Amino acid sequence: MTRLLLVRHGESNVTVERRIGGLRTCSGLSDLGRRQAAALAERMARGHEPPVEVLVSSTFPRARETAEFVSGALGLPVVSDVDLGEHDPGSECDGLTFEAYIERFGHGDWEHDPYAHGFPGGETLAAFQHRAADALTRVARNHAGATAMVVCHGGVIDRAVRLFLQAPATGGFEVHTVNTSITEFLLVRPGRWRMLRYNDAAHLAGLPAETPRT
């Protein structure tokens, strides 16, 4: 059976710094993020999870770094997929603090108009959703019958939930995916996915919830 284990990357430096962290300015994991990724790797090494046959990662440093921790535990190489990256804010917004972004551009209307350029010069929400859905579908198709772990981003996992459960692309509900948590989907028959778990972060017990924000 085709199985996807979706993992959100560990806590990132840009999150701690309260910055918009696209591919251009992402500087990888915070100290806590590395501890989270190490805890996930230890969990996978214990062998109680479904055996993973392929490890795929977004090319963002925060995702790639997380995947490299897990790679050692699984004994698998990391396969990079640029299309699994987070919503691209474009060069003008990438690296801005949240405060500076709101000062310049206000609060984007992400839900009501997914075709609006909330990030001037960046991806629309609709374009991001299409890219992420295409990438997730491709991973599942290319690894049919296998278990693939996909290290990616909160936005990509939100898209996976909506795609695989055939839910509306925006609105309807809200998910908040925890860093290094596991979300598991199983393809039970063509076109029908079953969500087996969401936000499983048992390995983070004893770690701080987050690094104090700057």
Q: What is the DSSP string of 131-188?
A: HHHHHHHHHHHHTTTSEEEEEE-HHHHHHHHHHHTT--SSSS----PPTT-EEEEEEE
* Tally of CA atoms within 13 A in the half-sphere of 143 that contains its CB: 21
pLDDT at site 57: 98
**Both tokens assigned to 22:** 């696209």
Domains of the chain: 3-204 (3.40.50.1240)
Helices (H), the chain: 13-16, 31-45, 61-74, 90-93, 98-105, 125-142, 154-164
Q: Indicate the burial class of 145 (C-beta count within 10 angstroms; 0-12, 13-18, 19 or more).
A: exposed
What is residue 192's DSSP assignment? E
**pLDDT, tens only, 26-40:** 999 999 999 999 999
Compute the distance between CA of residue 77 and CA of residue 66 in angstroms, rounded to an integer. Answer: 13
pLDDT at site 109: 74
* Tally of CA atoms within 13 A in the half-sphere of 208 that contains its CB: 11
Active site residue 9: yes
Q: Do 194 and 188 form a contact (C-beta atoms < 8 A)?
A: yes
Predicted TM-score (pTM) of this structure? 0.97
pLDDT at site 108: 72
> Which stretches of the chain score pLDDT less than 70?
none
Which of 38, 68, 89 is CA-nearest to residue 149? Answer: 68
Considering 11, 65, 86, 123, which one is annotated as catalytic?
A: 86
Phi, psi for residue 150 in degrees, rounded to 5? -120, 115
Compute the distance between CA of residue 191 and CA of residue 164 in angstroms, rounded to an integer. Answer: 8
